[in-house]
Every structure is written in C-alpha cells, then in structure tokens.
C-alpha cells in the first residue's frame, strides 16, 4: 500500500485550515531520519489505515521521496472520533522491531452454543517482534476448539507466521469459556467479598494488638481502645 503526502509549513492552530481543506496533519520520523511535518489527504489516509492498521508496512511518498513506514500513533477527536493527527515511523528493513498486532477471533465455540457458556476475550492484541516486512496485519484465533465450559486458548495455541516472535508468555490466556452462573451463585459472589474483607480486617487488627502487647508489656482495653500500664513502672513503663 502506498500513501502520498506533502511537506507542510502550517503548524499549531494553522493546521485547522489544513483539516478544512481535507488534509490530515502528520509527521514522519525514524532512525537517522530528521522529523518532517507533512500532510496527507484525509480520505486516502483513512482508506489505507483501515486496511493496514498499525502493524502493516506501507510506502509513504513525501513529495517524491519514499519511506517504508508504520502508522505509529493517531490522535483522535474525543467527541467525533475522527483522526486529528498521525505519526508515521520510518523503519529500517534490516532491523527487528516490536509492535502490537490485533487478534481476530473466528469460528463458533460449541461450549457457548450448546452449554450457554460465556466467552471471555482476555486480550485483544499481542506484542510481537519481527522484521518490518514480516509483520502480520492480524493474528487469527480459532474458537472452534472450545468444546466445553472451562476450555481456554493460550498464547502457545496461536499460529504465528514465520519470522514472527511473540513477546508474551506461552502460558498467558487469550480466551476462555466460563460456565453460566445461576442467580444464587451471582448473589453469593456479591456477598462473598464483604465477608472475606471483614474477616481479613479483624484478623489483622488482632495481630497488631498482640504484637503491641508483647512489645510494650501492655494490654489493650477493648472497651475504651486505650492502653493501660502493666508491669513495673519506671523508664521502661508507658506514661
């Protein structure tokens, strides 16, 4: 994929005029490449971004000079969601880089279909290392192997293209199917944290009190919450 851009001198608030004219303000930078302010046609950028995402190599033509780049970062309008600015990172084709690749889930889980299981996608992307030309656009995850509730897929279960190394642990969970819960079980879950927290706080308080008694030679008056002097009075006593 190729995207044409032009050098720009509009900076700061002047970039609003660029946007109104249908251009997206951007910058291109990289190793041994001086940062350049550029502008790309908004429609062309959006078309390429939808296909390439942030993990597929594209060719950026800046006024006739070409760079192999990744769409590195996008600033979007918080209300409308459309891009306001983009960063293009020029890569070296002979140097391994690290980036995140989105996961695409496909297929139907029998545990969900037949047992009413709840499909939980623990992660939506994985960090990988590869040469720029070997970076995959996406990683596919097949859900058909999830036969019963409790089934899960780990990182090691995903097929990675040649030359691509995953950064995550092979034992990290990617997706899991949990058994459906009854209303009684859901009610128990809501009450359980309160009971556990209460027990934990009480035990901790008792331990602190016991330690304080041993260190100071004093006993805790549970009625008024104050320490009373015990043992010998003197330099070692409590005043």
| Model pLDDT, residue 9 | 84
Question: In this structure, are strands 226-228 and 139-142 parallel, antiparallel, or unpaired?
Answer: unpaired
| Model pLDDT, residue 230 | 41
| Model pLDDT, residue 121 | 94
Please say if the pLDDT value at position 173 is more than 60.
yes
Query: Which range, of 52-61, 169-178, 191-200, averages the lowest pLDDT?
Result: 191-200
The share of the chain scoring above pLDDT 70, in percent, equals 76
Mean predicted confidence (pLDDT) in 141-151: 93
Q: Which residue has the tokens 């006593």?
A: 237
Please say if the pLDDT value at position 180 is more than 80.
yes
Q: What is the mean pLDDT of the chain?
A: 81
| Model pLDDT, residue 138 | 92
Higher pLDDT, 228 or 185: 185
Please say if the pLDDT value at position 205 is more than 80.
no
Residue 15 and residue 5 in contact, taking contact as beta carbons nearer than 8 Å: no
| Model pLDDT, residue 182 | 66
pLDDT in tens, 67-79: 999 998 888 888 8
Return d(Cα 18, Cα 26) in angstroms, integer: 11
| Model pLDDT, residue 209 | 57
Residue 137 and residue 125 in contact, taking contact as beta carbons nearer than 8 Å: no
**Which of 145, 160, 137 has the alpha carbon at shortest distance from 107?**
145
pLDDT in tens, 34-86: 899 999 999 999 999 988 888 899 999 998 899 999 998 888 888 887 888 99
Return d(Cα 65, Cα 62) in angstroms, integer: 5
Concatenating the DSSP letter of every residue in the chain gives: -EEEEEE----GGGHHHHHHTTEEEEEEEETTEEEEEEEEEHHHHHHHHHHHTTTS-EEEEETTEEEEEEEEEEEE-TTT--EEEEEEEE--TTS-EEEEEEEEEES--HHHHHH--EEEE--SEEEEEE-GGG--S-EEEE-TT--STT-EEEGGGS---TT-EE-S-TT-EEEEEEPP--HHHHHHHHHHHHHHHHHHHHHHHHHHHHHHHHHHT-EEETTTTEEE--S--STTS--
**Which of 74, 158, 98, 161 has the alpha carbon at shortest distance from 122?**
158
Residue 208 and residue 225 in contact, taking contact as beta carbons nearer than 8 Å: no
pTM to 2 decimal places: 0.66
Return d(Cα 33, Cα 36) in angstroms, integer: 9
Q: Which residue has the tokens 């880089």?
A: 97
Residue 139 and residue 166 in contact, taking contact as beta carbons nearer than 8 Å: no
């Amino acid at each position: 994929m190729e995207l044409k851009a032009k050098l720009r001198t509009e900076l700061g608030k002047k970039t609003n005029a660029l946007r109104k004219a249908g251009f997206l303000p951007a910058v291109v930078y990289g190793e041994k490449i001086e940062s350049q302010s550029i502008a790309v046609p908004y429609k062309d950028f959006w078309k390429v971004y939808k296909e390439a995402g942030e993990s597929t190599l594209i060719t950026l033509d800046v006024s006739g000079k070409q760079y192999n780049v990744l769409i590195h970062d996008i600033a979007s309008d918080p209300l409308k969601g459309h891009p306001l600015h983009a960063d293009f990172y020029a890569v070296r084709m002979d140097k391994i880089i690290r980036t995140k690749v989105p996961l695409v889930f496909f297929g139907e889980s029998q545990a969900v279909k037949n047992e009413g299981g709840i499909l939980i996608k623990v992660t939506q992307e994985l960090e990988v290392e590869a040469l720029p030309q070997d970076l995959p656009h996406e990683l596919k995850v097949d859900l058909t192997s999830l036969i019963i509730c409790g089934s899960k897929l780990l990182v090691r279960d995903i097929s990675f293209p040649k030359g691509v190394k995953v950064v995550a642990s092979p034992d990290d969970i990617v997706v899991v199917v949990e058994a459906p819960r009854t209303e009684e079980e859901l009610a128990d879950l809501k009450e359980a944290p309160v009971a556990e927290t209460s027990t934990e706080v009480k035990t901790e308080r008792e331990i602190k009190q016991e330690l304080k008694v041993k260190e100071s030679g004093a006993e805790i008056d549970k009625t008024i919450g104050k320490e009373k002097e015990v043992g010998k009075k003197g330099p070692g006593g409590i005043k």
